[in-house]
Structure formats: C-alpha cells, structure tokens
C-alpha cells in the first residue's frame, strides 16, 4: 500500500485526530503550563548528567575562549570578535555573567545559562500561542518530550558553548507562533530572534526561510522587525565568515575557522543522512548500520522529506527547510573532520540536533495524516524510540574530574600579573588566565 498523506487545508499542522476537547481547553488555559513544563524539562535534562550542575566544570570554548577573553579583555571587546568564523554573543554574555561570581562558581553560571536556553523551546511549545503549530496540547507535549528525550549529543548537554543550537530551535518556533498580543511577548520574540541571529550561522538559513514562510502563511505571520533582524544578522555573520575572521585582533583566543579535505561522495551524503539524522533518533547513538543500508535509508528519507515538504503545512515546511539547510551547511564546512568520520557517532553530533528534530516533527505529522499500514509502521517506529531508545540512551557519562575548584582556589592566591593554565574538558583543552 502506498503512503497516502492527506493534504492539509487548515493552518493547524501536526494535529492528530482530536478527542477529549474539553481536557485540551482546560489544559491549554492553564497559565502556568509553559513554566511548569520548562521546570520539568530542566529536571529531566539535569537527570541525564547531574554533574553538569552538582559538579560544574568548564566545557571547551566556555573556558578557553569565552571566559578567558572576557576576563582579559572585557565584554565589549570580546563581543566584537568572531569565534571560529562567526559571532557567538550568547556564550560571551554568559561568560560575562560568570565574572560576577567567584571563579570556582563560574562554570556553574555558564551551565545554568545553557540549561535555561535548553528548556526555552519547551515553554514556547506549551504556550497558547503555539496553537498554530497544533491545536492539540498533547501533540505539542509529544514534540516537547521528543525534543528533551531524543538520544542527542552529550557534548551539547547543559553548557553555554553549544546552547546556540537550542537557541536556534527557539528562534524557528518563534516564527511559527501566533503573532504576539502584548509588548512583553513581542519583546521576548525579538530577544530570542536577535540573540540567535548574533550567535552562530543560523540566521543565514533562517532569513530566507522566514520570507518564504511569510509568503506561505501571509504577511501577518512574520513581522517586518523580525525579518529585518534576521536579515541583518545573516549579513553580519556572512561578513564575519568571509572577511572578519581573517583579521582577528591579537591577544584573543579566537582563531579563524579551519578548512580540510572533506572527501565528499553522493553515497556518503545519503549514509550520513541515514545514520545521523534518521537511525540515531530511532535506534540510538550506538546504532551501527552497514554503509549500503544507511545510504538506502538516507535516500528513502529524502523522498519522505520531499513528500512532507510538498503536502505538509507551512510550519512543517519551515522546520524541514531549516533542518535541511543546516545539514547542508554542516557538510559543507565541518570543523576538524570529513564526511567519512561524520557518518560515525559522536563526530559532529551537535550538527545533527536540528535535522533530527525536523525528522521527529515529520514523523509525528506523518502518523497523523498517513493511512493504513503506513500509519502502523510509522507509529511503531515512534513507539520503539519512546519505549526503548530514549530510556536506554538517557544517561550521559559524567565528565572526567579536572579538579577545577582546587585550580580556582590556587589561582585566587597567585600574585597580580601571574598566569595559570587550567585543565578543561574534553581532555586536552586548557584555559589560560592572567591574574588581575
């Protein structure tokens, strides 16, 4: 039997056939639902690796670049310097906040910023404005649960360095929300989109998609201010990528983005797609597929995404387009790796966070609108991921001990002008501070 995904006429995507409308209305009107959902999400995220809060340590660039540069050069000077090829203002601001507490608590502050950004999409999905994504709170709850529970990337769990990926998820959700009716909601939308535009290359993909989304949904769907912010952010990040990263000031830890041979092939493209975007969310991060099987899965996934993009609602098309754009950008210029290694977990795991979420959203939509045996097959895949994969891959291994608290105490007793090299995670990373 062929897949028969029904066309959607109403602008309310991802809605499974509804029942219990009274319960939906009661739940939807609970003003505290987004906050309660975010708090529950925070607890669940911390449970995956509790030491991120109970025994916080700097992760990679959080210490080596962001905290050290703000400590040595101040906030404004550091904000003006591209990091790894583009501007990353969110972790720099987190590092500035971390300067306000003793050094031994600085990693905790930066991790708390990462945690707050991580749970933000949950609050947005559970808000009443997200009825444009689905009128059914259960569907949005499922999407929020998949966002929290998918195997994901251990390196991106609760740190400021990789929070930009989750901030981008919030930005794309903001575009889907019902237009804000209050100044506070409008200010929140602007703050999320602006910070995302200034942190990472996401605005380069999201700006043209926002114009397309406005065409699909109508002029009122995206405000001119949001379009202007995304366009300006894309222009600034392109300037950093093509010009500014090659003229970095001396004394900062930032370097230009390195290039290397990618060894690209068409089978390799489909293998990466099949393994990292499709198989991992369903089978887990430890999934090992033969190259041919992974490539076939990737090819079939491409066909399914094309069908969903054509028949699905504007919101789903926006998510698929965003995931596809970031997948292409990751393959075009990954840091320190090539295509053969990208096909293997955990290499570049952060690059596939948003493509995996796009795949999950497509699966939820397909279950609601497919028919016959196809619905059963798709529902079985989702059920397997929820019952087996997510529980099995829930816990992340704690970071190895670097004795950061002891290092911080030693640094506090050093004379002014002395310097100290701190050991960081992952192994081999260090941070150098000169005592003020």
In a domain, 17, yes or no: no
Q: Looking at the structure, tell me whether residues 49 and 185 fall in a common domain.
A: yes
Give the bridge partners for 430, in sequence order.
423
In a domain, 6, yes or no: no
Q: Looking at the structure, tell me whether residues 236 and 351 fall in a common domain.
A: no
In a domain, 122, yes or no: yes
286 CB-side CA count, 13 A = 7
pLDDT in tens, 156-185: 999 999 999 999 999 999 999 999 999 999
Share of the chain above pLDDT 70, in %: 93
Residue 142 above 90 pLDDT? Answer: yes
pLDDT in tens, 51-61: 999 999 999 99
pLDDT in tens, 67-103: 999 999 999 999 999 988 999 999 999 999 999 999 9
Give the model's pLDDT for residue 19: 44
Q: Looking at the structure, tell me whether residues 91 and 156 fall in a common domain.
A: yes
Give the closest residue to 83 by CA, choosing from 55, 51, 61, 68.
Answer: 61
Q: Looking at the structure, tell me whether residues 267 and 238 fall in a common domain.
A: no
Residue 228 above 60 pLDDT? Answer: yes
In a domain, 329, yes or no: yes
What is the count of structural domains for the chain?
2
In a domain, 101, yes or no: yes
For residues 394 and 129, give the distance between their C-alpha atoms in angstroms, rounded to a whole number: 30
Residue 130 above 80 pLDDT? Answer: yes
Give the closest residue to 140 by CA, choosing from 166, 105, 177, 113.
Answer: 177
In a domain, 204, yes or no: yes
3-state secondary structure of 434: strand
14 band by pLDDT with thresholds 50, 70 and 90: low
Q: Which long-range contacts (CB under 8 A, 24 or more apart) does 42-45 make?
A: 42/115, 42/118, 42/119, 44/148, 44/149, 45/115, 45/118, 45/119, 45/148, 45/157, 45/158
Q: What is this structure's pTM?
A: 0.92
Here the tokens at position 310 are 């054509």
Q: Looking at the structure, tell me whether residues 295 and 217 fall in a common domain.
A: no
Average pLDDT for 382-397: 95
Q: Looking at the structure, tell me whether residues 90 and 235 fall in a common domain.
A: yes
In a domain, 243, yes or no: yes
Share of the chain above pLDDT 90, in %: 85
Q: Looking at the structure, tell me whether residues 249 and 362 fall in a common domain.
A: no
Q: Looking at the structure, tell me whether residues 78 and 200 fall in a common domain.
A: yes
Domain range for residue 59? 30-257+400-436
Beta-carbon contacts of 357 under 8 Å, excluding residues fewer than 6 positions away, are 146, 147, 150, 169, 319, 323
**Which ranges in 80-127 belong to alpha helices (H)?**
89-98, 106-125
258 band by pLDDT with thresholds 50, 70 and 90: confident
Q: Looking at the structure, tell me whether residues 286 and 244 fall in a common domain.
A: no
Q: Looking at the structure, tell me whether residues 372 and 224 fall in a common domain.
A: no
Q: Looking at the structure, tell me whether residues 110 and 234 fall in a common domain.
A: yes
31 band by pLDDT with thresholds 50, 70 and 90: low
Q: Looking at the structure, tell me whether residues 268 and 387 fall in a common domain.
A: yes
Residue 349 above 80 pLDDT? Answer: yes
In a domain, 41, yes or no: yes
């Amino acid at each position: 039997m062929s897949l028969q995904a029904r066309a959607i006429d109403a602008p309310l995507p991802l809605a499974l056939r509804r029942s219990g409308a009274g319960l939906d209305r009661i739940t939807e009107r609970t003003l505290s639902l987004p906050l309660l959902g975010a708090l529950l999400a925070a607890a669940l995220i911390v449970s995956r690796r509790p030491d991120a809060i109970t025994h916080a340590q700097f992760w990679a660039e959080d210490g080596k670049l962001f905290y050290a540069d703000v400590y040595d050069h101040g906030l404004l000077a550091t904000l003006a310097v591209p990091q790894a090829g583009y501007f990353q203002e969110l972790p720099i601001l987190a590092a500035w906040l971390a300067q306000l507490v003793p050094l031994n608590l600085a990693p905790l502050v930066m991790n708390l910023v990462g945690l707050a950004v991580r749970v933000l999409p949950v609050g947005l999905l559970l808000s009443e404005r997200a009825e444009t994504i689905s009128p059914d709170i259960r569907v949005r709850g499922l999407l929020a649960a998949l966002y929290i529970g998918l195997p994901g990337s251990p390196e991106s769990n609760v740190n400021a360095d990789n929070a930009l990926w989750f901030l981008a998820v919030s930005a794309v959700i903001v575009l889907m929300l019902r237009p804000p009716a209050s100044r506070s909601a409008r200010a929140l939308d602007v703050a999320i989109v602006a910070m995302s535009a200034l942190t990472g290359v996401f605005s380069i993909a999201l700006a043209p998609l926002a114009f397309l989304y406005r065409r699909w949904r109508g002029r009122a769907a995206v405000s001119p201010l949001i379009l202007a912010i995304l366009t300006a952010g894309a222009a600034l990040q392109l300037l950093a990528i093509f010009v500014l990263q090659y003229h970095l000031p001396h004394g900062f830890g930032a370097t230009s983005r390195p290039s290397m041979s990618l060894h690209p092939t068409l089978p390799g493209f489909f293998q990466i797609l099949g393994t990292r975007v499709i198989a991992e969310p369903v089978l887990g991060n430890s999934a090992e597929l033969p190259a041919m099987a992974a490539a076939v899965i990737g090819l079939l996934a491409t066909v399914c995404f094309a069908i969903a993009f054509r028949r699905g609602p504007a919101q789903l098309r926006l998510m698929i387009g965003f995931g596809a754009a970031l997948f292409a950008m990751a393959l075009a210029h990954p840091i320190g790796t090539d295509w053969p290694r990208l096909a293997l977990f955990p290499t570049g795991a952060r690059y596939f966070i948003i493509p995996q979420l796009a795949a999950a959203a497509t699966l939820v939509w397909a279950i609601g609108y497919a028919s016959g045996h196809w619905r059963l097959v798709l529902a079985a895949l989702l059920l397997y991921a929820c019952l087996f994969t997510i529980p099995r891959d829930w816990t992340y291994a704690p970071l190895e001990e670097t004795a950061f608290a002891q290092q911080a105490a030693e640094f506090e007793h050093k004379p002014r002008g002395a310097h100290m090299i701190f050991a960081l995670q992952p192994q081999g990373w260090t941070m150098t501070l000169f005592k003020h």
